[in-house]
Amino acid sequence: MKIINSRPVPTHILSGFLGAGKTTLLQHLLQQKPEHEVWAVLMNEFGQIGVDQQLLPQQQGFEIKELLGGCMCCSSQLPLHIALARLLSESKPDRLFIEPTGLGHPAQLMEQLTEPHWQSSLDMRALVTVVDGSRLHESNWVKQNLYEDQIKAAEIVVISHTDVMTFEDDQALLQLQQEYEVYQQQWLSAAHGELQLKQIDLAHVIHERKIQPLLIQQRQQPTAEQATEIKELPYHYVEHAQGYIVAGWKFPRRWIFNFDRLLDVLCEQQNWLRIKAIFHTHQGWMYFNCNPNQFNYKTGEENIDNRIEMISQHEHNWLKLETDLLAARIET
């Protein structure tokens, strides 16, 4: 598909590990759109059910698209190229934001988007990696290969959740900055994702960097295993990929759940990395965005359905979770 643009579109990659605060940052950046411009977002969800897209503005002047199922950085480039080409040709945006999955490799994505094919269409800006400052004291968390790869790929590192950082987190941040000093990155802080666009609207600079061993392994990995069926529902799946397990469910919008029972079910879960969900409850529509240290939920606008996704590195009794979720439903 040939793309014809009068000028290359300023394009930002917002990367970051699970629960780092990428979508929160993106929400604040989108609020800065000039009235006469069209801004586009291409989001990548590792699982089959997208939740984050529902949190972004849906009104005129914004074009939000999703790539579901797998990582746009590591899997076949064709779906990414098709989605991106369509978004550019149909929406003709003045600015583009790309949010890869928290399990993605932004260096590979940047490598794809700086190929000659895209240079007349995309004006790549500095690669941003969001880091959860409140978890810097957790050595097992920050020493994961994928976590380190994302920071190494960054030209700008944004520290989120600074309002809840402890003394140990502050000390770990100083150590982290020393460790990555050789990468000549810019470090910024954003307590609630509040950052000015001009702070990250810098030109991408190509650096010669060694490909990390994990990236090589990713390129050699076979495709994800077939999803494991567990029970007939309006929609569900469980899949394994890159050492992670992702499970998701969708339920009809008309289904209403008891909020207290639902909260109990979610709080009972153990050994998970991320839970995202949108549920129609007897207290209204509730949006959940949780990591093991922060269980966040808030009221939100009506959604097209009820949905939940969980990411873990451990096997779970998915049938029990599903049964418990259904038990929280209010019969109408």
CATH of 9-197+212-219, one of 3.40.50.2300, 3.30.1360.20, 3.40.50.300, 3.30.70.270: 3.40.50.300
Q: CA-to-CA distance for 119 and 227, rounded, in angstroms? A: 37
CB proximity list for 248: less than 8 A, separation 6 or greater: 47, 48, 49, 235, 236, 237, 307, 308, 309, 310
In angstroms, the Cα distances linking 8 to 84, 138, 194 are 13, 41, 27
Length of the chain: 332
- Give the pTM: 0.64
Q: CA-to-CA distance for 288 and 286, rounded, in angstroms? A: 7
> Residue ranges of the domains in the chain?
9-197+212-219, 235-330
Q: Render the burial of 217-234: b for 16+ CB within 10 Å, e for the rest.
A: ebeeeeebeebeebeeee
Q: Which two tokens stand for residue 260?
A: 């207290």
Query: How many of the other CB atoms lie within 10 Å of CB of 68?
Result: 16
Packing angle of the helix pair 145-153, 106-113 (nearest 10 deg) = 40
pLDDT tens column, 5-51: 568 999 999 999 888 888 889 989 999 999 999 999 998 875 444 44
> In this predicted model, which residue has the larger pLDDT, 173 or 241?
173
**Residue 210: pLDDT over 50:** no
**Overall fold of domain 235-330:** Hypothetical Protein Yjia; Chain: A;domain 2 (3.30.1220)
pLDDT tens column, 243-290: 788 888 888 888 999 999 999 999 888 888 888 899 999 999 999 988
Query: What are the backbone angles phi and psi of residue 29, rounded to the nearest 5°?
Result: -65, -40
Helix (H) or strand (E) holding 154: none
Average pLDDT over residues 216-240: 51
Structure-derived torsion over alpha carbons of residues 215, 219, 222, 228, reported in degrees to the nearest 10: 50
| Mean pLDDT for the chain overall | 81
Residue 68: band (very low, low, confident or very high) from pLDDT cuts 50, 70, 90: low
Query: How many of the other CB atoms lie within 10 Å of CB of 284?
Result: 12
Q: What does the DSSP 8-state code read for residue 110?
A: H
Residues forming a β-bridge with 64: 41
> How do strand 39-45 and strand 62-68 relate by DSSP bridges?
parallel
The predicted structure's pLDDT at residue 69: 57
Residue 221: band (very low, low, confident or very high) from pLDDT cuts 50, 70, 90: very low
Q: What does the DSSP 8-state code read for residue 173?
A: H
- Out of 52-61, 82-91, 164-173, 273-282, pick the least confident: 52-61
The predicted structure's pLDDT at residue 239: 77
The predicted structure's pLDDT at residue 230: 41
**Residue 180: pLDDT over 80:** yes
Judged on CB neighbours under 10 Å (0-12, 13-18, 19+), 3 is middle
Q: CA-to-CA distance for 223 and 27, rounded, in angstroms? A: 32
> How do strand 305-312 and strand 186-190 relate by DSSP bridges?
unpaired
Query: How many of the other CB atoms lie within 10 Å of CB of 143?
Result: 9
> How do strand 274-281 and strand 235-241 relate by DSSP bridges?
unpaired
